[in-house]
Amino acid sequence: MAASGLVFIGFVLAHMYGNLKAFGGEESFNEYAEHLRTIGEPLLPESGLLWILRLGLIAALVVHVASAFALWKRASDARPVKYQVAKRRNSSLSSRTMRWGGLTILAFLVWHLLNFSIVKINPAGGETNNPYQLMVDTFDLWWMTLIYLVAMAALAMHLHHGTFSAMQTLGFTQTVAARSRARLAGWVVAVVVAGGFSLVPLFTLFGVIE
């Protein structure tokens, strides 16, 4: 779980960095999209590295989702009878919503891939072969941006607890100081990733990127 989660963190950080190329304008962004496909050539065939990354991510996703469901099942088996009154006193909302938050991310991921990668659906009905244009068209629709922002909120929460949790799971937090550092790291990763991803749609919606 922790390992696959960390793979995702690495991925989303890189992915977010890539997205920020949108601020460099159409050319720079499309170049990046193209570069993604040609990197490693001629050692690898076209899109080779991209496919390796994709396979890695798919594997991580399978592992991650499978572990998530295994934990979910174990938890519900471990407490078949629920409490009549339940009060929480120490846990963050994000730690308690990892599963539903994860599912939200999963649902979003499906749409996201349909949108930009596999099918390339342009919800505004425009061009689909120019990545930059596809992005601008999408985020010019206010409700697409909203969906995207909601997903980023879910991602932020997932990462807020996920980063800390991964540090605990890997055994890096044996002191009070280490634990607060891990909690801080959770905040930083959550804000940077979700914040970074949100910039592009917001700036597109408000016309800075067009």
Partner 1 sequence: MNLTLNIWRQANPTAAGAMHQYHVQDISEDMSFLEMLDVLNEQLNEQGEDPVAFDHDCREGICGSCDLMIDGQAHGPEVTTTCQLHMRSFKDGQEITIEPWRASAFPVIKDLIVDRSAFDRIIQAGGYVSVNTGAAPDAHATPVPQADALKAFNVATCIGCGACVAACPNGSASLFMGAKITHLGRLPQGQPERDERVVNMVAQHDHEGFGGCTNIGECTAACPKEIPLDVISQLNRDLRTAIRNGH
Q: Where on the chain is the footprint of ligand HEM (CB under 6 A)?
A: 1-2, 5-6, 8-9, 12, 61, 64-65, 68, 71, 98-99, 102-103, 105-106, 109, 158-159, 161-163, 165-166, 169
Burial grade of 135 (CB within 10 A; 0-12, 13-18, 19 or more): buried
Is there a contact between 128 and 137 (Cβ–Cβ < 8 Å)? no
Query: Does 176 sit near partner 1 (CB under 8 A)?
Result: yes
Look up residue 139 and give its DSSP letter.
Answer: H
> What's the min distance (Å) between Cβ of 17 and ligand HEM?
14
Residue 145: phi, psi to the nearest 5?
-60, -40
State the Cα–Cα distance between residues 158 and 93, nearest whole angstrom: 10
Q: Which two tokens stand for residue 48?
A: 């080779």
Residue 128 near which of ligand HEM, partner 1, none (CB within 5-8 Å, type-dependent): none
Determine the interface stretch with partner 1 among 43-51, 85-93, 149-157, 192-200 (rule: CB under 8 A): 85-93
Nearer to ligand HEM, 57 or 141 (CB): 57
In terms of DSSP H, where are the helices of the chain?
2-19, 26-38, 48-78, 93-96, 98-116, 131-140, 142-169, 176-205
| 165 near partner 1, judged by CB under 8 A | yes
Give me the residue label for tokens 């599963």. 99
Among 79, 125, 129, 207, binds partner 1 (CB under 8 A): 79
Residue 66 interacts with partner 1 (CB under 8 A): yes or no: no
- The number of CA neighbours under 13 Å toward the Cβ of 27 is 0
Give residue 82's identity as a one-letter amino acid code. K
Using CB under 8 A as the binding rule, whether residue 129 contacts partner 1 is answered as: no
97 near partner 1, judged by CB under 8 A? no
* CA–CA separation, 189 and 172 (whole Å): 17
Shortest Å, Cβ 91 to partner 1: 5
Among 85, 125, 129, 207, binds partner 1 (CB under 8 A): 85
Minimum CB distance to ligand HEM smaller for 2 or for 44: 2
* First-to-last C-alpha distance (Å) of the chain: 39
Task: Tell me the closest approach of the beta carbon of residue 189 to partner 1, in angstroms.
Answer: 15
Residues in contact with partner 1 by CB under 8 A are: 70-71, 74-75, 77-92, 95-96, 98, 161, 164-165, 167-176, 178-179
